[in-house]
Amino acid sequence: MKTDPCTYVIFGATGNLARIKLIPALYHLDIENRLHDDTKIIAIGRRPWDNDKWVSEVRAMLEAKARGGIDEQVFKRFIARLHYHKGDMQQAECYSSLAQLLTDSVKFPQNMAFYLAINPSDFSHVIEQLSKPKLLDESQFWRRVIIEKPFGTDLESSRSLQNKISQYLKEEQIYRIDHYLGKGMVQNVLVFRFANSMLEPLWNRNYIDHIQITHSEQLGIGSRGPYYDHTGAMRDMLQSHLLQLLTLVAMEPPVSLDAEDLRDEKVKVLKSIRPIPEEAVHAQAFRAQYAPGEIDGKQVNGYLQEEGIPQNSVTETYAAMKLYVDNWRWRGVPFYMRTGKRMEKAQSMISICFRHAPSQLFAHTQAEKIKQNWLLLGIQPEECIRMEMTVKEPGLEMRTRISNLDASFRNEDELASDAYEDLLLDVIKGDRSLFLRYDEVEHAWKIVDPIINKWAVNRDYIETYPAGSWGPNECRLFEKESQSWRNTL
């Protein structure tokens, strides 16, 4: 089904995000016939390019990223949508000339989406400038603004940013993008939870021992040194992506899948999370930094050897924390979350550990130590739902082993789509269910702010872990000796 005609305006169109994600995503939507025939894409950049140069750049982007190579027929249709607008977003002239260009309503549809693929410090300036020539006015057509994370760097800065942009935009116009939520497997968590009635009776503190959410990366910080050193793993991943996963796992069934009903339930979870007082930060949060090590047989630098990193930096590249959701369903169940760079394997997963079966039926047999059941949700790169069950081994003895019930998310002949394809399409459709409402952002900052503030003061020492390992040998977060990090699916 095709969408409304619209004009997609991309600020920062010559940058990495547009090159790697946005332009390929829009091209793939065109392949799927999801873009209206009249939809146009305006790229805004400072480089002195013309349309021909921009088209050649787009071809290079798609040669690198298009699934199955470039379809020349679709490419011909796609480049007819493209327009390059030279302008410096710091200068008022950029916006007045853009407004003049967009007055051609025959060429450019008047429904407009503005994608800010730019430095977060420029968000409020660009939005203010767009408002001056009335480019955000919705009296006749819709106007939407897409903002990448991070939305602020702490609670205070997120409130300040919200106050600034809300002078020019209604909340319904703001699409705070978390590309993690566009991943098919993340959305599948909702289907898995609420479309399978056999799970609902077990989905609570009576049957679940604890829940782990892990996002590990093999990559280091690359060329992002100065940016990352001011951000760290807690802000970069835990405050946004992993807390969002927690809300999907822990939320109550929403009244409907409408955006506001879904987001209401997510906010309820965040509001139910037990605050971490300053004196409890050490017991409920842990940070570390990668040291030199080996990945795929190659020696790699430690964080302090990376370009642009001060020698005395204590910025965390690994962060873990323990949270409690103090509501009827989850009270007393610990949620363990961790993220790290330069770890043994790149993967995202949710691991749900069930309580031991109460029966001592096998106490005096070879099967005396029955293992706990696990439900494993692979987000990336392996997308799967896997249940570990205990079964009897063939033979005369009473011995058991673990067997997997596997419900893979994608069949072998089904291609993966990129999260940005879903999200860019949702903006045109006006579906905000996978975007963050401001109160979600605010409550997420309230959860991690005490940790960030405590770490900002303690600048003398940080634990390290060898690159290529599963992180530091740290177990103080766990409530029981029997609990430990689950590293594999």
Q: Could you give the residue numbers annotated as active site?
A: 241
| Greater model confidence, 380 or 449 | 449
Q: Which of the four pLDDT bands, split at 50, 70 and 90, describes residue 257?
A: confident
Residue 356, CB half-sphere, CA atoms under 13 Å: how many? 11
pLDDT, mean of residues 38-58: 94
- Please check the confidence at residue 328 and state whether its pLDDT lies above 70: yes
pLDDT digits (tens, 9 = 90+) for 330-347: 999 999 999 999 999 999
Integer CA distances (angstroms), 302 to 228, 295, 461, in order: 14, 12, 16
Read off the DSSP letter of residue 89: T
In 10 A of CB 214, how many CB atoms?
25
- Please check the confidence at residue 366 and state whether its pLDDT lies above 70: no
User: What is the pTM (predicted TM-score) of this model?
Assistant: 0.92
Check: CB of residue 62 under 8 Å from CB of residue 24: yes
Pairing of strands 208-216, 347-354: antiparallel
Q: Going by C-beta distance under 8 Å and a sequence separation of 6 or more, which residues neighbour residue 77?
A: 30
- β partners of residue 402: 390
Residue type, 116: L
pLDDT, mean of residues 75-85: 95
Residue-range domains of the chain with CATH = 7-148 (3.40.50.720), 181-417+436-466 (3.30.360.10)
Q: Going by C-beta distance under 8 Å and a sequence separation of 6 or more, which residues neighbour residue 64?
A: none
- β partners of residue 380: 348
Alpha-carbon gap, residue 322 to 141, rounded angstroms: 46
Alpha-carbon gap, residue 159 to 151, rounded angstroms: 9
Alpha-carbon gap, residue 251 to 159, rounded angstroms: 25
CA-wise closest residue to 74 among 109, 126, 31:
31
Integer CA distances (angstroms), 199 to 257, 274, 428, in order: 19, 26, 35
User: Range with the lowest mean pLDDT among 278-292, 403-417, 431-445, 456-470?
Assistant: 403-417
Coil/strand/helix, residue 229: helix
pLDDT digits (tens, 9 = 90+) for 123-172: 999 999 999 999 999 999 999 999 988 899 999 999 999 999 999 999 99
pLDDT digits (tens, 9 = 90+) for 392-446: 888 888 778 888 888 876 676 666 678 899 999 999 999 998 899 999 999 999 9
CA-wise closest residue to 121 among 144, 151, 100, 94:
151
